[in-house]
Amino acid sequence: MEKQEIYDKVVTIVADHFELDSSKVSGELNFLSDIEADSIDFVELVLEMEDAFDTQISDEAAEKLITINNTVDYIFANQK
């Protein structure tokens, strides 16, 4: 999958999960400071990403997924 496809899908998932306007979601969106996601929100989001991209995201890796761009880079680098 191309990086842009991953980016578009991640933006859609995040926008749907947090009920945001996808046109206002950028790569720099920070899950903690911009949308104030709590730990439960974040775990649910990681699980959605795992399902959507058929991948596993370790707890250590998930801790580093702070922005949309971090998430896209991780998924792109670890796709099957």
CB 34 within 8 A of CB 26: no
Neighbours of 63 (CB within 10 A): 9
Active site includes 38?
A: yes
Q: Which residues pair with 67 in a beta bridge?
A: 30
Amino acid sitting at position 21: D
* Active-site residue, selected from the candidate residues 16, 38, 51, 73: 38
User: Which residues carry out catalysis?
Assistant: 38
